[in-house]
A and B are shown apart, each in its own frame.
Chain A
Amino acid sequence: MPYHEFLGIIVAWQKTINDSIVQAFETLEAQPSLDIYATIVLSAFVYGLVHALGPGHGKMVIASYFLVHGSKMRDALKAAFLTSLVHTLSALSVTLVLYLFFEQTIMRHFTLINTYMYKLSGTLIIVIACLLWFEIRKIHREECPDTQPSSLLKIAFSVGIVPCPGVMSIVLLAMILGYYTLGIASAMSMSLGMGITMSLAAIASTRFKQTVARNRYETLFQVLSYAGVGLLLCLGIALVL
């Protein structure tokens, strides 16, 4: 399927889910019920799954990272869900600050904040790529170096720091209507959905590297590591530019 067609399908789904969430909030306002609460939280989960299928959300960065560093599925899952959590917490914090202090210019700040956060994220990704490059040079004789928890946190923070505009929109809508708890629950539900989608990229990458490691194609193994660093560098530079 051509990429443009794939993107079109995701956009259409996302739009449909968007509309149904708004409708659910309107129903909730007219007739509050536990069913509608559950519907909104569930819709947010599906929204997260679909939303992260599109470009962005760090899937490529995480996949590149796992081409370089470690090949355990457990680490891949950790990195994906951590990134998704940071992505959501960042969105929650930014929305809360905007809602409390910038009510009159809230939507204008949405775009502005994202632009600067992308640049910060790009810079951090470049730093991580450089650190990984030094690491590969140091340990290139070892097979499958283990991923350190601290380095998982670094990658999750670097990628996830860009607040997800999708989460921001849903949380802001909930806040405007006075449903603060529901807003936070929806954001966490979205985070879970995004985490699942992002895990697929990380798992695919680790599986690929495991295959290479198992077959002992050492040269290819090293090439892949450097290719991963190269990809990370390109992604970081692209975000900063």
Chain B
Amino acid sequence: MKPLLFWIGLHVSLWAHPHFFIDTDVTIEKTHILYRWTFDALNSKLLLFEFDSDKNGVLDHEEASRFLKAHFYPLEANRYNIVLQSGENELLVKPSDVNVTVEKKRIIVAFVTQNALSKPSTLCTIDATLYIAYALRNVQSLYAYEVQKSDVDFCLGVMP
């Protein structure tokens, strides 16, 4: 197993480096977790060029659907880059109420996962391919928590 993990790690870290930078806000409630991903200014501009067909600076329903289909839902293959471990079990991360907005020329994707944390849990956001860097900007939690973060990924230890 170890050689395999080493190979996978080597395989990715040899050339992978982030080109998307996402500032993340996390809100942990009793029954769910709310995520807010704010894309960096450069990529927001480039993505708006592609998806904001009428060039009005916002993404209407049809434009937002196209955007999510191209840049959010494909992340399902990697569990939306979220690892949520509660006690011994890894919880299923299934986004709902997915919403795309544009604020101050930056694209924001907000979504909810229906995960209730009843045991000490670890919530991490990381892109295994390192193409996207997730920086933790703000946490609001009903429970006590500890943060371990870098400019590429982060983990929260939550103690319900």
Contact = CB atoms under 8 A, between A and B. Distances in A.
Bind each other: yes
Given A15-B135, A103-B49, A172-B49, 19 more contacts: A3-B13, A8-B152, A15-B151, A18-B21, A19-B40, A19-B41, A55-B130, A56-B15, A105-B70, A166-B19, A169-B46, A170-B42, A172-B46, A173-B42, A173-B46, A235-B14, A238-B11, A238-B14, A239-B15
Contacts of A19: 40-42
Contacts of B15: 55-57, 118, 239
What is the interface residue range for chain B against chain A?
20 to 34
Interface string B27-66: 0000000000000111101110110010000000000000
B17 A169 contact: no
Given A55-B17, A56-B17, A107-B71, A11 B152 contact: yes
Interface residues of A, number: 41
A105 B130 CA distance: 22
The list of the 7 closest CB pairs from A to B, nearest first, reads A56-B15, A54-B17, A8-B150, A8-B151, A22-B41, A11-B151, A12-B151
17 contacts: A4-B152, A5-B150, A11-B151, A14-B18, A18-B41, A22-B41, A22-B42, A54-B17, A55-B15, A55-B17, A56-B15, A103-B49, A105-B70, A106-B50, A169-B42, A172-B46, A238-B14
A214 interface: no
B133 interface: yes
Interface of B: 10-11, 13-19, 21, 40-43, 45-47, 49-50, 53, 70-71, 130-131, 133, 135, 150-152
A176 interface: yes
B140 to A, nearest CB: 23
B50 A107 contact: yes
A15 B19 contact: no
Nearest to A4: B150
Main secondary structure of the interface of B (DSSP, over half): mixed
Contact of B19 (A106, A165, A173, A241): A165
A176 B47 CA distance: 11
- Which among A107, A118, A235 has the greatest number of chain B C-beta atoms within 10 A? A107
A21 B46 CA distance: 13
A215 interface: no
Contact of A55 (B16, B45, B151): B16
Nearest to B51: A107
A4 B21 CA distance: 16
